[in-house]
A and B are shown apart, each in its own frame.
Chain A
Amino acid sequence: MGHNVLEITDLRTCFDTRDGLVTAVEGVTLSLARQESLGVVGESGSGKSVTFASVMGLIKAPGFITGGSIRFNGRELVGLDADEYRQLRGKEIAMTMQDALTALNPAYTVSDQIIEALMAHDETLSGPRRARRRQAREKALEMMRLVGIPAAETRLDDYPHQFSGGMRQRIMIAIALACKPTLLIADEPTTALDVTIQAQVLDLIAEIRERLGMSVVLITHDLGVVAEHCDRVAVMYAGQVVECGPTAEVIANPLHPYTQGLIASIPRMSDLRRRIKPILGTVPSLIDLPTQCRFMDRCDRARSRCRSLIEMRDMDGGRQVRCAMAEADDG
């Protein structure tokens, strides 16, 4: 699979905490093709953000990657030298964060924050520092127009707090995309926004993805967002990917009981009288987990064979599921 932009194999990321070793990500295997968009769904603490912080090389002590491989365009990232990693970040792999208000530095103007990303990586800027800065400013303006900031030329020197929530999110996207990365990791891009703005921001990401031909990872806990914007989806639970496959099929016919539970708990406009079915129980603690299905305690189909090591299994139609009982339902 040489054409994949990103290939994560058996990734394991741990945090050494006072209470013990927390394995936040355990055996995650995911891949992302060129120009593909992958939705990563899961609740808080499912390991979705940690997985992609690992990809960005942003895991800091007491956290560390203890195993597995992350290949980006064929290049191994685990154990990459800090300086080489820095040159990759922001240039080839970019990230946006959940809340633009806190992700943008309040002390600097937005143009300054776009310019510094360009100054760090853009090799098309030439000449002495001041000339490069001037060119970067031109590009910053271009980026602000690209992400749809109205009257962008008058807003270059505004501070983040002078923008509305949706506009701030666009600024953050402009910063992330300033160096035209091949992979964008959007961590909860819509959580901090209200519903109408959410749709605009997601459409913007989709539009730019097409225009720049990049791949996108959309980390979210909103299956609705994934359904509309992602080619494939990976569902994470307690540090593991439990189900992965083409979005439409996963949503139409979820194989893993957790995915089924997630879908059953979405309210539907077409069937308002139907009661929302919550998933009972809570996520297990990630310290010293026994070798067994992690969803077992909350699963109404659990059998004794769920007590053994459950591996990710390939199913028809490019789908994968981590469930011992899945076969029975499939087909």
Chain B
Amino acid sequence: MNVGKLIERLLQLIPVLLGVSVIVFVMMLVTPGDPVEIMLGDQHVTEEQEQALRHDMGLDLPPHERFFKFLSNAMTGDFGLSYYHRQPVTEVIASRLPATIELSLAALIFALLVSIPLGVLAAVRKNSILDRISTVTSLFGVSMPGFWFGILLILFFAVNLRWLPVSGRAGFSSEVEPITHLLLIDSLLRGRVDAFWDALKHIILPAITLGLPMASILMRVTRASMLDVLNCDYITFAEAKGLRKSQILIKHALRNALIPTVTVAALQTGSLLGGNMVVETVFGWPGLGRLVVESIFVRNYPLIQAAVLFYAVTYVMLNFLADILYTVLNPKVRL
């Protein structure tokens, strides 16, 4: 690992971001729907008023000029104003980001906590009842659409059992002075146990919905790589050394089996971003995903453009993180 490699990765970002910008711009161009019309709705306005609005939003320029204007502004960090919020899109995104990060982290933690122990157990007890059950469950996990599974969870745990709230991030009484902007952490830092419980109750269902496909994939990966590793000579040799079974499983087997799991987990974290849009919409979670979905409905071009670029950067960075983790876990590989 060295600085040169990091710089190389950052340079690789440039063509990626340029390509993403072009694709998103063209997609928005060919998608039917006019933001001005959507914004005006049924209001009766004169032709001049509409033109003024169009000019104000910069939509009266031909597409290529709009694109280059966007590019040159973006270079300076200016991604324009959100049509609806009338404030810079970067600020709007920043205000919604913590909720998304919190939900993604919760989903990631859920996925790791469930998948790794289950994957190990399924491999150690290969072909047992537990192995079969977890195989079938993980098949469900990857194939169930999030919007359906989320609604199912809401119906059961929130509507029928009334154990957990239906939607939202926290109740009004649970507001705490932000420090990290992650509600679960802030509430603890401020010593507000009640707010922490409230936030935790709110995040459970969306986190499970978002994390389940990832947990299923990681479980399969862990199981498969654990099975591979358990057949390795060094496991037999560790047994021949007379080590304890737990030591063999955790130190010798799991450590090596985790190499693919961690790599896949880092890559899959990128796909949580896509899942966020659905899950946040279903659970009324005030995060970036829902903001993007809403923005697409009203053709809020500057916001979509900036958010997609943000997703792209995140994705590339997660890839980079996967590479770093891979080298940390595998001494044979050096970046």
**Which residues of A are in contact with B by a Cβ distance under 8 Å?**
56, 58, 86-91, 94-95, 97-99, 102-108, 116-117, 120-121, 159, 161, 172, 175-176
Per the bound structure, the CA–CA distance linking A106 and B329 in Å amounts to: 10
A97/B330 in contact, CB under 8 A: no
Per the bound structure, the CA–CA distance linking A159 and B256 in Å amounts to: 14
Interface residue total, chain B, C-beta cutoff 8 A: 22
Q: Taking the nearest CB of chain B, how far is it from the CB of A2, in angstroms?
A: 25
- Residue of B234, B237, B243 touching A120 (CB-CB under 8 A): B243
B242/A121 in contact, CB under 8 A: yes
Q: Taking the nearest CB of chain B, how far is it from the CB of A92, in angstroms?
A: 9
**Which residues of B are in contact with A by a Cβ distance under 8 Å?**
232-234, 236-245, 247, 251-252, 255-256, 329-332
**B330 to chain A: which residues have CB within 8 Å?**
106-107
A90/B243 in contact, CB under 8 A: yes
Q: Taking the nearest CB of chain B, how far is it from the CB of A20, in angstroms?
A: 19
Q: Which of B238, B241, B247, B330 has the most CB of A within 10 A?
A: B241
B240/A58 in contact, CB under 8 A: yes
Identity of the chain B residue whose Cβ is nearest the Cβ of A116 in the assembled complex:
B243
- Residue of B233, B241, B332 touching A90 (CB-CB under 8 A): B241
Can you report 6 residue pairs joining A to B where beta carbons are below 8 Å apart?
A89-B240, A97-B240, A102-B232, A120-B247, A159-B332, A172-B237
A91/B233 in contact, CB under 8 A: no
**B234 to chain A: which residues have CB within 8 Å?**
102-106
Per the bound structure, the CA–CA distance linking A104 and B242 in Å amounts to: 15
**B252 to chain A: which residues have CB within 8 Å?**
105
A106/B331 in contact, CB under 8 A: yes
B236/A58 in contact, CB under 8 A: yes
- Residue of A58, A116, A159 touching B247 (CB-CB under 8 A): A116
**B332 to chain A: which residues have CB within 8 Å?**
106, 159, 161
A89/B256 in contact, CB under 8 A: no
Q: Knowing A102-B232, A105-B234 are in contact, say whether A87-B242 is a contact too (CB < 8 A).
A: yes
B244/A104 in contact, CB under 8 A: no
- Residue of A103, A105, A108, A120 touching B242 (CB-CB under 8 A): A120
B242/A88 in contact, CB under 8 A: yes
B233/A102 in contact, CB under 8 A: yes
B243/A103 in contact, CB under 8 A: no
Per the bound structure, the CA–CA distance linking A105 and B256 in Å amounts to: 9
Q: Knowing A102-B234, A106-B331, A161-B332 are in contact, say whether A116-B256 is a contact too (CB < 8 A).
A: no
B237/A107 in contact, CB under 8 A: no
**B331 to chain A: which residues have CB within 8 Å?**
106-107, 159, 161
Q: Knowing A107-B329, A161-B332 are in contact, say whether A89-B242 is a contact too (CB < 8 A).
A: yes
Per the bound structure, the CA–CA distance linking A76 and B167 in Å amounts to: 66
**B329 to chain A: which residues have CB within 8 Å?**
107
A103/B233 in contact, CB under 8 A: yes
A-B contacts besides A103-B233, A104-B234, A116-B241, 19 pairs, CB < 8 Å: A56-B240, A58-B239, A89-B239, A89-B240, A89-B241, A94-B240, A97-B240, A102-B233, A102-B234, A105-B252, A105-B256, A106-B256, A106-B332, A107-B329, A120-B241, A120-B244, A159-B331, A159-B332, A175-B237
Identity of the chain A residue whose Cβ is nearest the Cβ of B256 in the assembled complex:
A107
Q: Taking the nearest CB of chain B, how far is it from the CB of A108, in angstroms?
A: 8
Q: Which of B242, B245, B329, B330 has the most CB of A within 10 A?
A: B242
B242/A97 in contact, CB under 8 A: no
Per the bound structure, the CA–CA distance linking A3 and B247 in Å amounts to: 35
B256/A103 in contact, CB under 8 A: no
Identity of the chain B residue whose Cβ is nearest the Cβ of A82 in the assembled complex:
B245
Q: Taking the nearest CB of chain B, how far is it from the CB of A198, in angstroms?
A: 19
Per the bound structure, the CA–CA distance linking A116 and B244 in Å amounts to: 10
Per the bound structure, the CA–CA distance linking A94 and B240 in Å amounts to: 7
**A117 to chain B: which residues have CB within 8 Å?**
241-243
**B241 to chain A: which residues have CB within 8 Å?**
89-90, 94, 116-117, 120, 175
**B255 to chain A: which residues have CB within 8 Å?**
105, 107-108
Q: Taking the nearest CB of chain A, how far is it from the CB of B85, in angstroms?
A: 50
A104/B247 in contact, CB under 8 A: no
Per the bound structure, the CA–CA distance linking A91 and B329 in Å amounts to: 30
**A89 to chain B: which residues have CB within 8 Å?**
239-242
A90/B236 in contact, CB under 8 A: no
**A88 to chain B: which residues have CB within 8 Å?**
242
A97/B233 in contact, CB under 8 A: yes
Per the bound structure, the CA–CA distance linking A116 and B237 in Å amounts to: 12
Per the bound structure, the CA–CA distance linking A153 and B232 in Å amounts to: 29
**A103 to chain B: which residues have CB within 8 Å?**
233-234, 236-237
Q: Which of B232, B234, B255 has the most CB of A within 10 A?
A: B234
Per the bound structure, the CA–CA distance linking A229 and B211 in Å amounts to: 60
**B233 to chain A: which residues have CB within 8 Å?**
97-99, 102-103
Q: Knowing A106-B331, A107-B331 are in contact, say whether A95-B240 is a contact too (CB < 8 A).
A: yes
Per the bound structure, the CA–CA distance linking A159 and B329 in Å amounts to: 13
Identity of the chain A residue whose Cβ is nearest the Cβ of B253 in the assembled complex:
A105
Q: Taking the nearest CB of chain A, how far is it from the CB of B248, in angstroms?
A: 10
**A56 to chain B: which residues have CB within 8 Å?**
240
